[in-house]
Structure 1
Amino acid sequence: MGVRVLVATEIRLYRDGVAEALRRFDDVELVVTAATGAAAVLAGKRAECDVVLLDMVLGDSTDTVVSLLTARPNLKVVALGVPEDGPELVACAEAGIAGYISRDASLAEVGDALRAAVRGEAPLSGLVAAGLLRHIALGASMGRIDTAAQQLTPREREVSQLLRTGMTNRQIARALDLQLSTVKNHVHNVLAKSGVTGRTQIQI
């Protein structure tokens, strides 16, 4: 059985052009199109598609992903035109996107990405992968810091809060009316309990 594809984008010229090109692939059995998120959800339910190529410029694109996957949990959705780093990228991943493809991709690359998604792979560029890894690393770092905050003494929490504002040890000492040596000890304890190696990581 060939691949069954739903192409969803509000730009008719692009929608029709991609659909026509995909129909020329020998392993593509069916191509249907949709111009809105609501139409994509309806088509996804009716057409029994394997994979959706979803243009993320649609105003309700993230909600569309959630609705599609709620109705068809095994459906694969490949996002088209997502910035390679930023909140939109993360929002797509959290919604359940199976892969990403650039607007600069060739038709052959689009076909390869859709096939990869159907196979259970995650088609994405190196830049997209790097952006997602940075987000995961940041989340892990913040999680460690939040967990560590529960282990800090009241005074260490005060020092930690001032560290996050970018204050120097001397500025913290003046703000809390402490000796500089005492502040240095508190900073050392905060860093050690937070599992970080430098104060800039506390300031994230």
Structure 2
Amino acid sequence: MIRVLLVDDQHLVRAGLRMLCESDPGIDVVAEADNGRDAVRLVDELHPDVVMMDLRMPGMDGTTATARIRAAHPACRVVVVTTFDDDDHLYPALAAGACGFLVKDAAPADLLAGIHRAAEGDSPFSPGVLRRLVDRAVRSRQPAPGGELPRLTPRERDVLRLIAEGLSNQEIAERLHLGVTTVKSHVTSLMTKTGSPNRVRLAMLAPRVTEADP
């Protein structure tokens, strides 16, 4: 059972998210908060697995709350759910430790899948947001951590390209006709070789890494 905390200053939004979560037998909404300060307190008290975090709220905003939650509870996964998917909100949230970024007009199935992906250690992103991250990485031509591009196996390159498309481990397994455990092993290897702490960083490095390999 995935324990979830919902954080949004709009009661109607929280009610909608709760109803959606309650339709999934694998998700348990343990509490709600309408501001960042209460969110931090509730994480301290209840230790949820996933926090669905709004960004613009009175008092303590979602970015500040995310940073405090991640500092005190590194295992807690914070997924931003917001109307604002511009860079001014995206990058500060990622820097604060958010593992995913979903827009509020996402399909209900995608929001539920995002919770499951976050709980499994994945990084759920709305496709448009992830494409913008990758495009920005291509434009900036940022080097891989450590200054050198790693050599990858053909299968690792296949997995990396699909990570950059925003696919989950399950979706990658289906696309490549592999087991999910095998895909997870490839993802772990990719993170180790590139020095990437998460799938977002892998996605941003994908263009350079794949171009550099023969």
Alignment TM class, shorter chain as reference: 0.5 to 0.7
Tell me whether 1:110 sits opposite 2:111 in the alignment.
yes
What's the offset of the Cα at 1:69?
Answer: 0.5
Mapped partners of 1:127, 1:21: distance in 2: 23
* Aligned alpha-carbon RMSD (Å): 1.9
What's the offset of the Cα at 1:17?
Answer: 2.5
What's the offset of the Cα at 1:3?
Answer: 0.4
SS in structure 1 opposite 2:48? coil
- Per the alignment, residue 120 of structure 2 pairs with 119
5+ unaligned residues in a row in structure 2: which ranges? Answer: 144-214
Tell me whether 1:17 sits opposite 2:22 in the alignment.
no
Mapped partners of 1:111, 1:31: distance in 2: 16
What's the offset of the Cα at 1:139?
Answer: 4.9
TM-score (norm 2): 0.60
- Per the alignment, residue 158 of structure 1 pairs with none
Moved over 3 A (4+): 82-85, 134-141
Q: Is the CA contact (8 Å cut-off) linking 2:20 and 2:108 kept in structure 1?
A: yes
5+ unaligned residues in a row in structure 1: which ranges? Answer: 144-204
Mapped partners of 1:44, 1:92: distance in 2: 18
What's the offset of the Cα at 1:106?
Answer: 2.8
**What is the correspondence of 1:173-192 to structure 2 with a 5 Å cutoff?**
none
Q: Is the CA contact (8 Å cut-off) linking 1:79 and 1:100 kept in structure 2?
A: yes
**What is the correspondence of 1:70-85 to structure 2 with a 5 Å cutoff?**
70-81=71-82, 83-85=84-86
What's the offset of the Cα at 1:88?
Answer: 1.6
Mapped partners of 1:109, 1:85: distance in 2: 20
- Per the alignment, residue 39 of structure 1 pairs with 38
Mapped partners of 1:4, 1:103: distance in 2: 20
SS in structure 2 opposite 1:129? helix
Mapped partners of 1:26, 1:99: distance in 2: 22
What's the offset of the Cα at 1:95?
Answer: 1.2
What's the offset of the Cα at 1:140?
Answer: 4.5
Aligned residues: 141
Q: Is the CA contact (8 Å cut-off) linking 2:7 and 2:35 kept in structure 1?
A: yes
Please identify the structure whose Cα radius of gyration is greater. Answer: 1
Q: 1:105 to 1:80 in 2, by over 3 A?
A: same
Q: 1:5 to 1:63 in 2, by over 3 A?
A: same
Q: 1:41 to 1:71 in 2, by over 3 A?
A: same
Q: Is the CA contact (8 Å cut-off) linking 2:3 and 2:28 kept in structure 1?
A: yes
What's the offset of the Cα at 1:63?
Answer: 0.6
TM-score (norm 1): 0.63
Mapped partners of 1:13, 1:30: distance in 2: 16
Q: Is the CA contact (8 Å cut-off) linking 2:7 and 2:34 kept in structure 1?
A: yes
Q: Percent identity?
A: 25
Tell me whether 1:56 sits opposite 2:55 in the alignment.
yes
What's the offset of the Cα at 1:50?
Answer: 0.3
